[in-house]
Every structure is written in C-alpha cells, then in structure tokens.
Amino acid sequence: MELFAIEPGLAIWTWLSFGLLFFILWKFLLPSLLKSIRDREKTIAGAVDNAREIQERLDEIKKEEAEILVKARTQADKVLSDTRKEAEVLKSRLLAKAEEEAEAIVSRAKIKAVEEREVLLQALQEELADFVCDASEKVTGVSFTSEKDRKMVKEMAQTL
C-alpha cells in the first residue's frame, strides 16, 4: 500500500536534513542565543536579588522607624507627665508662697491699722482734752492750761 511504502531515500534525507539543522544550530546559532538568554537571566536574577535586599533593608528601616516612633512617644509621654508633676509641685509651691505672702500682707496691714487707730485715738484724745479744757475755760472762766490739767483731762478721755 502506498501509504506505508518504504522510501529509504526519504529516511536518509530526513537524517541529513535533521543532522544538518542540528549541526548548524548546535555549532553556530544556538550558543550565542543561549548565552544571551543565560546572561539576561543572570542579570534579572541579580536585579531581583538586589530588589529583595532593598526590600528587606526597607522593611528593617520601617521596623526601626516604628521602634523609634514608639520610643519617642514613650519618652514624650514621660517628659509630659514629669513636666506635669513638676508643674503641679511648682504650682502648689507658688500657691503656698502666695498664700503666705498674702497672710503676711494682711497681718502687716492689720498691725498697721491698729497702729494707725492708736495714733488716731491718741490724737482724738488730745483734741478732746484740748476741747474739754477750752470749753471748761469758757464756762468756768478758769484757765486749764497747765500741764497737770491737760494730763488729767487726757487720762479721763482714755477711760472713755
């Protein structure tokens, strides 16, 4: 049958064609192509490794950044709370001092008021003594100008 006809020439032709193709590809065309593919793969692999390293470094930096941020926040909180405490202490100290000063001012004012009252009272008593002496002199016609009379009137006024 023609379908299964044996053609040795065609078989030899097949070997020759395939052999020639294999030889030319193997010796001349494939080495450079395979080398360029390998070189590119190496370059890509190198770039991928590089990118991975950069990514890892980036992750580390991000981790460090997060740690630093947490640390900074803790420190800031501590500083803030310390400052608050100090402020509280200072405030209470200042308040106490102000209260003390105010009390001192008030007591000083009180003493001064008492002293001024004393002075005023003394002046009033002298005025009253003078007035009583003058009035008695006009009524009785007797002069009460001596130091002794004045002292007596003054003592009387002090008993009031």
Partner 1 sequence: MKGLKRRASVIFSFLLFLGGTSLFAESSEVDISGTLFHHILNGRSLDLFPGVPAVKLPFGISVHQFMLVLSVLLILLLFLVAARNKTMKPKGVRSVAESLVLFVRDDIVYPVMGEKRGEKWLPFFISMFLFLLTVNLIGLIPAFKTATGNINVTTAMAVVVFVLTFAVGFKELGVAGFFKNMYPEGVAPPIGIFVVLLEFIGLFTKSIVLSLRLFANMFAGHLAILSFLVLIFVISPFFSLVSLPFAVFTYVLEVLVALLQAFVFTLLSCIFITMASTPEGE
Query: Per CB under 8 A, does 48 bind partner 1?
Result: no
Task: Give the integer Cα–Cα distance in Å for 50 and 55.
Answer: 8
The 10 Å Cβ neighbour count of residue 153 is 20
Given the complex with partner 1, which of 24 and 87 has the nearer CB atom? Answer: 24
Query: Per CB under 8 A, does 50 bind partner 1?
Result: no
Query: Per CB under 8 A, does 37 bind partner 1?
Result: yes
Can you read off the two tokens belonging to residue 124? 């009033």
Given the complex with partner 1, which of 6 and 160 has the nearer CB atom? Answer: 6
Distances 115 to 9, 69, 103, 105, 141 between C-alpha atoms, Å: 149, 67, 18, 15, 37
Per CB under 8 A, which region of 6-14, 58-66, 99-107, 139-147 contacts partner 1? 6-14
Query: Per CB under 8 A, does 24 bind partner 1?
Result: yes
Query: Per CB under 8 A, does 121 bind partner 1?
Result: no
Contacting partner 1 (CB under 8 A), which of 42, 43, 77, 104? 43
* Dihedral sign of CA atoms 42, 45, 50, 51 in order: positive
Can you read off the two tokens belonging to residue 94? 């200042």
Residues 137 and 143: beta-carbon distance below 8 Å: yes
Query: Per CB under 8 A, does 30 bind partner 1?
Result: yes
The residue ranges that bind partner 1 (CB under 8 A) are 2-15, 17-18, 20-22, 24-26, 29-30, 32-34, 36-37, 40, 43
